[in-house]
Amino acid sequence: MTARIYLSPPDIGPAEEAAVLRALRSGWVAPLGPEVDAFEREVAEYTGRSHAVALSSGTAALHLALLAWGVGPGDIVITASMTFAATANAIAYTGAEPVFVDCDRTGNIDVELLAQALSDQRTRGRRVAAIIPVDLLGKVANYEAIASLAREQGVPVLSDAAESLGARRHGRPAGSFGEAAIVSFNGNKVMTTSGGGMLLTDDGALAARARYLATQARQPVIHYEHTDVGYNYRLSNLLAALGRAQLGRLDAMIELRRATRRRYRDLFATTPGVTIFGAPDGADSDGPTRDNFWLTSILVDSEAAGWSSANLQQYLAIHGIEARPLWKPMHLQPVFAGAVAYTNGTGSDLFARGLSLPSGSVHNDATFARIADCIGDFLHRRTEAKGAQ
């Protein structure tokens, strides 16, 4: 049987094996330890931040940043509607209300709509406690515009860079924007610790507060003394060792994803109705603004193409190839049905037309050849069917 091809599987090799073995043999199997300290230093340096707190997930990092800022019941947190549920869930954990803002054609938060949301919420007398822009599929959001709006209103920005580690905007690395940012090391991301995340900031007090809350809010005394409700959110030493090995290969793994983006671009170059999502000319280069090529997605105009993104997804699935729609916007999710949302129809359009294709750095030439053959067959059948009509 031919192996199933996944969207973005972990890319693990001898460097990772050696790193985990090193950590195991060092005796630091208990949570925390020198690998965690080194991993934090290395990710802070990679993203140009002064402080990094290694955590059990990106979701935990979002949650702790909000808690450390004192976000809670009665507050509003404005975030992108076009995101994975984790962003909105973290807001809900604090008891604050998520307010969703739709995206522009890049898939990232629409800054004009964000301005409208901020002024509307202020008019209603609501406290906006934070803004969480999301770097969708590895494309860094427009933080210059977001920061100027946030500054006007005195609201801190928490950048959800879960998907964008390794991307840049005007030369600045993803994770360096906002008063704080989070990244994810989930198994499907550009690099992984199997599960994990990090909070990044230049604010030492915020980092210290997050660290404290992440370790059950233990007071620094010999007996167990607690004055706050804490969480068990820290990353283990073994997983940090895995992360360090992955970080050492990150730029090379991103190059492989970039090569895959180019292959898809060539593959669909003459296909009517298909565009590569969110990658204007130049964005595929190694320029000062570039995404991290986490996922290559296509947008299908079904009238021009004669088929829909769902048709292709189903055809690939039958042949053991995973492809997925873009995130279903949060304002369309039943769980957030009651939430306030500022919409323009773009997120729902991208959801209807977008399809992410296998993009992992682990995919080799043979894997891509299988994907290209399968897509080629699909396009051929569709052309023939159209001709027969």
According to CB under 6 A, which one of 163, 179, 203, 284 is a site residue for ligand PLP? 163
Q: Tokens 């603004």, residue?
A: 289
Question: Strand 172-173 relative to strand 274-276: parallel, antiparallel, unpaired?
Answer: unpaired
Burial of 94 (0-12, 13-18, 19+ CB in 10 A): buried
Tokens matching residue 53: 């707190």
Least spacing, CB of residue 8 vs ligand PLP, in Å: 11
CA distance 40 to 185: 13
Tokens matching residue 101: 């803002």
Stretch that binds ligand PLP, among 20-28, 31-39, 156-164, 218-226 (CB under 6 A): 156-164
Tokens matching residue 270: 């003459």
Q: Under the criterion CB under 6 A, does residue 86 sit at the interface with ligand PLP?
A: yes
Hey, which residues are catalytic here? 189
CA distance 314 to 316: 5
Q: Under the criterion CB under 6 A, does residue 260 sit at the interface with ligand PLP?
A: no
Comparing CA positions, the residue from 11, 38, 44, 8 lying closest to residue 26 is 38
Q: Identify the three-state secondary structure at position 97.
A: strand
Least spacing, CB of residue 233 vs ligand PLP, in Å: 11
Stretch that binds ligand PLP, among 113-121, 160-168, 230-238, 376-384 (CB under 6 A): 160-168
Q: Under the criterion CB under 6 A, does residue 214 sit at the interface with ligand PLP?
A: no
Between 128 and 182, CB nearer to ligand PLP: 182
Least spacing, CB of residue 33 vs ligand PLP, in Å: 21
Between 57 and 313, CB nearer to ligand PLP: 57
Q: Under the criterion CB under 6 A, does residue 134 sit at the interface with ligand PLP?
A: yes
Stretch that binds ligand PLP, among 43-51, 81-89, 91-99, 247-255 (CB under 6 A): 81-89
**How far is residue 379 from each of residues 239, 263, 358, 362, measured CA to CA in Å?**
42, 16, 17, 26
Question: Strand 180-184 relative to strand 158-160: parallel, antiparallel, unpaired?
Answer: parallel
Q: Under the criterion CB under 6 A, does residue 162 sit at the interface with ligand PLP?
A: yes
Q: Are 239 and 33 in contact (CB under 8 A)?
A: no
Q: Under the criterion CB under 6 A, does residue 291 sit at the interface with ligand PLP?
A: no
Between 139 and 370, CB nearer to ligand PLP: 139
β-bridge mates for residue 25, sequence order: none
Between 185 and 342, CB nearer to ligand PLP: 185
Q: Binding marks (x or -) toward ligand PLP, 185..204, rule CB under 6 A?
A: -x----------x-------
Between 83 and 356, CB nearer to ligand PLP: 83
Least spacing, CB of residue 319 vs ligand PLP, in Å: 26
Sheet with 51-55, strands from edge to edge, namely 51-55, 197-201, 180-184, 158-160
Between 162 and 206, CB nearer to ligand PLP: 162
Least spacing, CB of residue 2 vs ligand PLP, in Å: 28
As a dihedral over the C-alpha atoms of residue 366, residue 367, residue 368, residue 369, rounded to 10 degrees, the angle is 50
Between 295 and 371, CB nearer to ligand PLP: 295
According to CB under 6 A, which one of 47, 184, 260, 346 is a site residue for ligand PLP? 184
Least spacing, CB of residue 59 vs ligand PLP, in Å: 3
The single-letter DSSP state of residue 331 is: G
Tokens matching residue 212: 């404290």
Residue 269 sits at the vertex; the CA angle it makes with 354 and 6, to the nearest 5 degrees, is: 45
Q: Are 111 and 142 in contact (CB under 8 A)?
A: yes
Please report, as residue ranges, which positions from 46 to 65 form the binding site for ligand PLP (by CB under 6 A).
57-59
Q: How many residues lie near ligand PLP (CB under 6 A)?
A: 14
Which residues make up the interface to ligand PLP (CB under 6 A)?
A: 57-59, 83-84, 86-87, 134, 160, 162-163, 184, 186, 197
